[in-house]
Amino acid sequence: MTTSLQSVLGTGFADKRLKAPKDTTSLQCNYSGHTFCMRFVVSVIPKTAYESNAAFFEKAMDAVVQSLGALLRDGLTHPLTGERFFFVVLGVKGDLPYLQKLGKLNRSWNTTSKKRSRGGRLAGGTCHLCLAGTAGCHAEEIVDHPQWEVTIGVRQPWLRTPFIVQHLCHNLSNPASFFKHDLWHSVHLGLGKSFVCSCLQIALEVVPATNNEDRFRWLTNHYRAWCKDTSSQPHVTKITPSLISYGEKTGAAGAWRKGALTTNLMRWIVVLVSALSSDKGGYLSLCATAAVNLNEFFSCLHNAPLFLSGNEATYLAGKGMTFLKIYARLALDLFREGRPHLFAVYPKIHVIHHFLWDMRQEAGDHNLSLHPLSAACQMDEDLVGRVSRLSRRVNIRAVIQRTLERYLIGCYAAWREAAAATEHVEPATHVIQRDRGHFKVSH
Ligand SMILES: [Zn+2]
């Protein structure tokens, strides 16, 4: 379990994503550079430790929170200039299980219930920000003004205010908004995957081949040819039935864990549909329209600064809503056809809807909207991967301390390299040695 700090401000998205030169006068998201230079690890805990004793994680987080509170109260003094800096923690982000664990949320992704309790009320609720998923307030209602919009912040999603909220600045009218959803995860490792899998399963009906094996081979060849034409990394060697959950009646959820593959497949589907004849139900053309809208939504976001203008936010929220509305329509049509496993409706559909609703609301209220990817965990996945690789190379009896020490050594090299790239400083040529439990740098 890796916990890290980051600035909400950074140097924007990586240059390869940009369609136009970056606007250097506006504030940017924190997305480019080595993750060791933009995310700061403050705690690592092995799974065995926090699973056997929940207090282990809670006590570690309490210590982090107290320290963060002092950053605003007392500030941090620069050792050379004597200047004092004060920091405000804007919120906590992470995947849904992490947020649930930290906030002890009693409304989250796994508390949704379709069954009515004895009183006729729906139990649980699916969202810590609003009452979606409770009685008379459907989380799957994809319209511009859903019933849940008037329930935002009316009931707290916890029995006791979490320690992290008590000790840090937060929005008093809606303390639960301190816990931020992750748009990237919700699409690229959530609804986007089931969309792609469902589209491909419909496409199989019109692929020009006589048996299933040949149909998948045809899809693989088409995908690989598209990757070559667009110079995209394929990420998979084959499109297989198991990859797209073909024949799984519990829901076409997709069997990959790489968000970049979802991005690729979403772009490829538009080209694929244009190469195929139309299907019986006319679903494929709808799939292509949905994919075009979602692709434009993310492409624009990856070129946007930290604050979107009111017009940009309204336009992009419209693109996202078009995707969601088509998804919901396909879900209903295919459910009526007896194919409920296609375009399955997961709690993440509500998370995405919430983001789009927020963008429109902020645009209307302030003529500005905070970039919805500013709280996404795309780069943090990279950081967690690096730290967990380090943790496998240290003595298991001192795994926490040694992992953090190795992380600091990694930081040293990454920061030197970043400085060398911008200021023509010599890259690190020093040897770092361990000396009686301490690390020393020899030149
Ligand atoms: Zn909600």
Query: Would you write out the chain's pLDDT as a tens digit for each of its 443 residues?
Result: 999 999 999 999 987 767 777 777 889 999 999 999 999 999 999 988 888 888 888 899 999 999 999 998 999 999 999 999 999 999 999 888 889 888 989 888 777 765 555 454 445 788 999 999 888 788 889 999 999 999 999 999 999 999 999 999 999 999 999 999 999 999 999 999 999 999 999 999 999 999 999 999 999 999 999 999 999 999 999 999 999 999 888 889 999 999 999 999 999 999 999 999 998 889 999 999 999 999 999 999 999 999 999 999 999 999 999 999 999 999 999 999 999 999 999 889 999 999 999 999 999 999 999 999 999 999 999 999 999 999 999 998 899 999 999 999 999 999 999 988 877 655 555 555 555 545 555 44
Centre of ligand 1 from the C-alpha of residue 109, in Å: 11
Do the beta carbons of residue 126 and residue 109 sit within 8 Å? yes
Centre of ligand 1 from the C-alpha of residue 108, in Å: 9
Centre of ligand 1 from the C-alpha of residue 165, in Å: 19
- The answer to the question of residue 291 being in a domain is yes
Centre of ligand 1 from the C-alpha of residue 16, in Å: 34
- Centroid of chain to Cα 289: 23
- The answer to the question of residue 210 being in a domain is yes
Centre of ligand 1 from the C-alpha of residue 141, in Å: 11
Centre of ligand 1 from the C-alpha of residue 9, in Å: 26
Rounded to whole angstroms, the Cα distance separating 82 from 73 reads 17
Query: Per the structure block, which two tokens stand in for 293?
Result: 């809208």
CA nearest to 200, candidates 127, 273, 294, 142: 273
Residue with tokens 């700090």: 5
- The answer to the question of residue 117 being in a domain is no
Counted residue by residue, the chain has a size of: 443
Buried b (16+ CB within 10 A) or exposed e, 153-180: eeebbbeeebbbbebbebeeeebbbbbb
Centre of ligand 1 from the C-alpha of residue 179, in Å: 12
What DSSP character marks residue 191? I
Rounded to whole angstroms, the Cα distance separating 271 from 111 reads 39
Centre of ligand 1 from the C-alpha of residue 161, in Å: 19
Rounded to whole angstroms, the Cα distance separating 229 from 128 reads 44
Centre of ligand 1 from the C-alpha of residue 334, in Å: 25
- The answer to the question of residue 439 being in a domain is no
Do the beta carbons of residue 350 and residue 139 sit within 8 Å? yes
- The answer to the question of residue 325 being in a domain is yes
Centre of ligand 1 from the C-alpha of residue 153, in Å: 9
pLDDT of res. 108: 84
- The answer to the question of residue 314 being in a domain is yes
Split into its structural domains, the chain has a count of 1
Rounded to whole angstroms, the Cα distance separating 272 from 291 reads 11
Domain span including residue 269? 183-375
- The answer to the question of residue 426 being in a domain is no
Centre of ligand 1 from the C-alpha of residue 152, in Å: 7
- The answer to the question of residue 353 being in a domain is yes
Distance spanning both ends of the chain, measured CA to CA: 34
Query: Per the structure block, which two tokens stand in for 93?
Result: 């982000």
